Amino acid sequence: MKAKIPDIIEMLKGRDHWARNSAAGAFEKLANHSVFHDAMKPGIPYIIEMLKDSDPQVRDSAAGVFKNLADHPVFHDAMKPGIPYIIKMLNNSGYLARNSAAGAFMKLANHPVFHDALKAKIPHIIEMLKGRDHWARNSAAGAFEKLANHSVFHDAMKPGIPYIIEMLKDSDPQVRDSAAGVFKNLADHLVFHDAMKPGIPHIIEMLKDSDPQVCDSAAGVFKNLADHPVFHDAMKPGIPYIIEMLNDNGHLARNSAAGAFEKLADHPVFPIPDGIRIYSGGS
């Protein structure tokens, strides 16, 4: 099999997108076997070229390979030039390629060797948060959420928080839901707290949302925020809506509200009325 790797690399360089996709699939599988790694290294520049291809299926295949290669340190140096194209795919690719790029991005963020290259692209991700394409904004929000798990990115991320807050107000429920997930994760990091405070009224508005998934996400955010005293005063106006959700006919919103209510009840600062009853009917 090792002797066939130069032929596979030649296929990666070709013009037939079916052949390139097949070669990319073979390349991805070979990466799981260290005996092939040295012979594979010359192929990585062609995987990177595929990330720039005009065909979204080719980009999708290449992003899947890139994600798998990230698990193998022997490839890391050769992969670095591909990072700008992974981030570009988050913005202007088809659905499948964009999802594959998001998966690759999340894998790359777990490896410190890529952090400098990713950090340099955070302004681009923030620009995507400001855009009009809701799919691209959701992809950018997912990337932003992943980056928050690594303190090396925090200072560069702060300018993006106002745009996450803008997404909480978006007319598209998927955008609101995506932003709520990011907001919830950001709350675990003290460095973001001051910038997050203006977003809490919009989380409270989401507790009243007509979309049950948005309500569920907002209740999850409320539960997380309750662990941080800096947010408590701003959260108080939302408590009546959490209580109202406890008797919602939908089990999704009701269960999320119950979790938030239990967390709020642990903090005497919140005005919790006595005698609250939780609806026990079916969804």
- CATH number (domain holding residue 134): 1.25.10.10
Domain extent, residue 158, equals 2-199
Asked whether the CA dihedral 226, 232, 238, 242 is positive or negative, the reply is positive
Tokens in use for 68? 């798998």
Mean pLDDT on 6-28: 91
pLDDT digits (tens, 9 = 90+) for 118-165: 999 999 999 989 888 888 888 889 889 999 999 999 999 999 999 999
93: which DSSP letter? S
Is there a domain that residue 126 lies in? yes
Buried b (16+ CB within 10 A) or exposed e, 93-108: beeebbbbbbbbbbbb
Q: Which of 165, 180, 255 is nearest to 214 (CA)?
A: 180
pLDDT of residue 249: 64
pLDDT of residue 24: 92
Amino acid in position 45:
P
pLDDT of residue 280: 46
pLDDT digits (tens, 9 = 90+) for 77-92: 999 999 999 988 887 6
pTM to 2 decimals? 0.83
Is there a domain that residue 176 lies in? yes
pLDDT at residue 93 is higher than 70: no
Is there a domain that residue 104 lies in? yes
Q: Which of 186, 242, 182, 236 is nearest to 216 (CA)?
A: 242
**Other C-beta atoms within 10 Å of 154: how many?**
15
Is there a domain that residue 101 lies in? yes
Query: Tokens 């977003």, residue?
Result: 199
Is there a domain that residue 269 lies in? no
Domain count, the chain: 1
> Mean pLDDT over all residues of the chain?
89
pLDDT of residue 212: 86
Alpha-helical segments (H) within the chain: 5-12, 17-30, 37-40, 44-51, 56-69, 76-79, 83-92, 95-108, 115-119, 122-129, 134-147, 154-157, 161-168, 173-186, 193-196, 200-207, 212-225, 232-235, 239-245, 251-265
Q: What distances in angstroms separate CA 38 from CA 27, 43, 44, 47, 210, one per listed residue? A: 12, 10, 11, 15, 55
Dist CA 245 CA 220 (whole Å): 12
Distance between the two ends of the chain, CA-based, in angstroms? Answer: 56
Is there a domain that residue 215 lies in? no
Is there a domain that residue 280 lies in? no
Taking a C-beta distance cutoff of 8 angstroms, is the pair 139, 98 a contact?
Answer: yes
Asked whether the CA dihedral 149, 151, 152, 157 is positive or negative, the reply is positive
Is there a domain that residue 230 lies in? no
